[in-house]
Amino acid sequence: MCMSVWEGVNTIESSYGVPDYRPHGYTKVPQPAQGLLVSRRCPAPEYCVDYLVVGGGVVGLAIAQRLSQKFPSKSTYLVDRNPSAGQEISSRNSEVIHAGLYYPVESLKMRLCLRGRDLMYARCKDYNIPYNKIGKLVVAQQEQRAYIEGLHDKAAKLAWPTYTPASELNKPVLPTELLSGDQARELVPDLSKGIMAALWSPETGIVDSHAFMESLEKDIMESEMGELVYNTSVVRVDPYNASRQASGLEKEEGWVVQTSTAGDQDSDSGDAFLVRNLIVSAGLSGPFILNSLLPKEKRISMYYARGTYASFNGHGVGNIKHLVYPSPNMGTKKDGFHSLGTHLTLDLEGKIRFGPDLEWISPPENEDGVDFWQSHLAPSEVRLKEMQEAIQDYLPSVKLDGLAPDYVGVRPKLVGPNGGFQDFVIRKDFSGEGTRGPMVNLLGIESPGLTSSLAIAEYLVEEVLADHH
């Protein structure tokens, strides 16, 4: 057993509240794991699970679905602390199927967005999931022409990602078209006269994310060995050591995972089982289980970005049929890679919504809970004026009285403001340190996480876990 892993656990048991610091003043890493009852003893596990996925958002569901379909004779459990799937990030986003415009060519975000886009469209067709490939305009003022021209040039040079069927290889990976300002106004007549060019992306779409998640749930539930377990939190994770834990599983190796059902945090209750392969896809709580096992100097910081969405009912956007995105640096704030600007999206009924904006949040000084972000979910009118000012850069006739607060989402970030581009992080921890299967941690899975979800699952199962099946 790797001593550093055990030392990390022992340190947490003795000091409980560490770490408590605010990197760059924007957040702190509070308790080492979400709801982790670090005072518990590590009990003898009662039974084995081949794959345990922690987190029932769209990415966790996609991973559990892929595992249960590929390995029907192996047990795949998904646990989530909420009463149903997708209650955190997955139910508070734009429901956009991204085409893959924005990300660095060699990044996981680019690869998995391109592959995930096509997997999602195919699944929507096969499972009758409501979607609409309505296309998107990225609009630019004169000084932003170079930006969209760069996107267009990059798109033309992209190669198809791994696992693309041979039948698709003769098609453009990411078709785009450069338009003049007047051509863009033929599609969206209310665009500002200051919009001098636009990039048309026909592969962008929208999807009913809840119907999509329900289809994944159905596959898991109908599989031979798949299980969905809601209202259940992981409260402790330990490397399994048969010599310390007499359980009748002496020949097994893996992770001892303790869970607790909602409303029952008694330290003597709950289940403990041996997990051969542990996959943590916990979104806004992404690093906290891993941090409970790492020494202090290696723990991962988290940042949180709040985004407000506003519904719109008024003049200034007539007969709109496509999504409209500003260039990322439009408006009063320079968001860079952290935000695509306060853009216009449509739902499947054609209703207009603007957002999200970007607001960095952090816990109050006297608050230690990792769920502080839940107090920031209530939409209000406070952000509307600033949002309207950003929108008027490209839709000048949108009035404040047509906007109403709709909902709020929070995005998990691994870098703070001015931190630049941050790729998806899918890391295999503790592999080869005496455990048969690794702990796989998915961190910073924000946009385009919904679009990429099926490709993330494919990548994780076919490559990250390839040596552990």
pLDDT (tens digit per residue) in 325-363: 999 764 444 444 556 789 999 999 999 999 999 999 988
Q: What is the pLDDT of residue 284?
A: 92
Give counts: helices (H), strands (E), the chain: 9, 20
* Domain at 136-202+303-413: CATH architecture: 2-Layer Sandwich (3.30)
The span from the CA of 439 to the CA of 49, in Å, is 14
Domain 41-131+205-299+418-468, CATH class in plain words: alpha beta
- Nearest alpha-carbon partner for 191 in 395, 420, 423, 41: 395
Average confidence (pLDDT) over 195-218 = 98
Q: List all residues 6 or more positions away from 167 whose beta carbon is below 8 Å from its beta carbon.
A: none
More confident residue, 437 or 14: 437
Tell me the Cα Rg of the chain.
23
Q: How far apart are the first and last CA of the chain?
A: 21
Cβ pair 258, 272 in contact under 8 A: yes
The span from the CA of 257 to the CA of 255, in Å, is 6
More confident residue, 354 or 264: 354
Domain positions in the chain are: 41-131+205-299+418-468, 136-202+303-413
Give just the sign of the alpha carbon dihedral 159, 165, 170, 174: negative
> How far, rounded to the nearest angstrom, does the alpha carbon of residue 366 sit from its chain's CA centroid?
28
Q: What is the pLDDT of residue 13?
A: 26
Q: Given its phi and psi angles, is residue 214 left (phi above 0), alpha (psi -120 to 50 degrees) or beta?
A: alpha
Helix, strand, coil share of the chain (percent; to 5): 30, 25, 45
More confident residue, 218 or 437: 218
Looking at the chain, the whole-number percentage of residues with pLDDT higher than 90 is: 71
The span from the CA of 247 to the CA of 43, in Å, is 9
Among 122-136, 173-187, 313-327, 367-381, the least confident range:
367-381
> What is the pLDDT of the chain when averaged over all its residues?
85
More confident residue, 432 or 151: 151
- Quickly state the pLDDT bin for 41 (edges 50, 70, 90): low
Q: List all residues 6 or more positions away from 222 whose beta carbon is below 8 Å from its beta carbon.
A: none
Cβ pair 302, 416 in contact under 8 A: no
pLDDT at 248 over 80: no
- The single-letter code of the amino acid at 19 is P
Q: What is the pLDDT of residue 335?
A: 44
pLDDT at 317 over 80: yes
- Quickly state the pLDDT bin for 172 (edges 50, 70, 90): very high
Instruction: Please identify which residue in the block is written with the tokens 């059902």.
Output: 261
- Quickly state the pLDDT bin for 253 (edges 50, 70, 90): confident
What is the CA angle 426-65-60, rounded to 5? 40
Instruction: Please identify which residue in the block is written with the tokens 């998107």.
Output: 136
- The single-letter code of the amino acid at 226 is G
355's tokens: 């957002």
pLDDT at 27 over 50: no
pLDDT at 437 over 80: no
Q: Which helix (H) or strand (E) holds 121?
A: helix 108-127
Asked whether the domain spanning 136-202+303-413 has the same topology as the one spanning 41-131+205-299+418-468, the reply is no
- Nearest alpha-carbon partner for 399 in 412, 408, 388: 388
Collapsing DSSP to helix, strand or coil, 187 comes out as: helix
- Quickly state the pLDDT bin for 381 (edges 50, 70, 90): very high
Average confidence (pLDDT) over 373-382 = 91
- Quickly state the pLDDT bin for 441 (edges 50, 70, 90): very high
pTM of the model: 0.89
9's tokens: 């656990």
**From the CB of residue 397, how many other CB atoms can be counted at a distance below 10 Å?**
15
More confident residue, 207 or 33: 207
More confident residue, 156 or 18: 156
pLDDT at 213 over 70: yes
